[in-house]
Amino acid sequence: MSRQTILLISDMRQVYLAEILTKKGIGVRCLDIRNHETVPEQMEKLKNFLVEADRLILPIPVSKVPNQELLNDILNKNLVNGTSVLGGCFSAEQVELLERRDIHYLDFMEDEIVTEENAVATAEGVIAELVNHSPYNIDEAKIIVTGYGCCGKAIAERLKALGARVTVLARRREVRKEAKKHGFYAVDFAFGPEEAMGAAMLVNTVPAPVVTRTIIRELPRDAYILDIASAPGGCDFACAKEYGIRADLALGLPGRYAPKESAYILDRAMERFALREKSWEDRA
């Protein structure tokens, strides 16, 4: 019986990825989970398909699968030895399950190359969101970027190139020093409330509660907050609503704004993973 790849489709990235893999001659079975009403039916198919699968590709993040408890149960009961699992942002429970079952897996978002390449698509998506939802131009606007990891850097650099006055909020001194080296004003979160005064936009990249009431209450009421951190984000959305400030949690921006490019990023990561798997087999 021929082996195959099972691909759960949660956005256009997976649609293009299926196309890329098919052109390579790889057998792909797609399960579309974008319609929540048909998810139970698709998950039932997953149980049956896993018997013939040598690779399962889950969404980014994996939490896009609506029923995580059901998914974990299927993985535990239906995965067979030799099936590798790929996805983004696995939960601690899923990591424990895969490691206990001795299943080879790849978390795309733990791959440094994917993270760096993905940051570019994310940054462009952020700019699109700001243009669509802020009442101000980016040029000459005071914009706060919280966090200065891969996404924070890419976002800050592109906003600066568009003429924004960017302030970076970061906890670690060495990170602030790096941001300053690249021409940004960078301060600790303790100065967040002061920096919030007069800011037209705030982009959060930190998956922790950092955009708090003390910062939000100092923002102009027509400011726009865009949170791209992993759910539930790092913004106090209830507080923003209380002050009449629009705040959006925007996940999976690469899948929305650059899905084909993002699919190629994932495909290259899968090729690197396959080479590592072959290396493991050769050493066994």
Residue 241: CB partners within 8 Å, gap ≥ 6?
247
Reported as a single tens digit per residue, the pLDDT across 165-189 is: 999 999 999 999 999 999 999 999 9
Reported as a single tens digit per residue, the pLDDT across 49-92 is: 998 899 999 998 899 999 999 999 999 999 988 899 999 999 99
- Report the pLDDT value the prediction gives residue 52, as an integer from 0 to 100: 87
C-alpha 148/C-alpha 146 separation (Å) is 7
What integer is the mean pLDDT of 145-160? Answer: 97
CATH 3.40.50.720 in the chain, residue ranges:
114-251
What is the reported pTM? 0.83
Reported as a single tens digit per residue, the pLDDT across 229-256 is: 988 999 999 999 999 999 999 988 998 9
CATH code linked to domain 114-251: 3.40.50.720
CATH code linked to domain 4-110+258-283: 3.40.50.360
**Does residue 205 contact residue 228 with C-beta atoms inside 8 Å?**
yes
**Among residues 102, 118, 113, 65, which one has the least CA distance to residue 87?**
65
Phi, psi of 115 (to 5 degrees): -60, -45
pLDDT band at 108 (very low <50, low <70, confident <90, very high): very high
Q: Is the pLDDT of residue 1 over 60?
A: no
Report CA-CA distances (Å) from 184 to 17, 54, 134, 234, 236: 37, 47, 22, 22, 25
Reported as a single tens digit per residue, the pLDDT across 24-52 is: 999 999 999 999 899 999 999 999 999 88
CATH 3.40.50.360 in the chain, residue ranges:
4-110+258-283
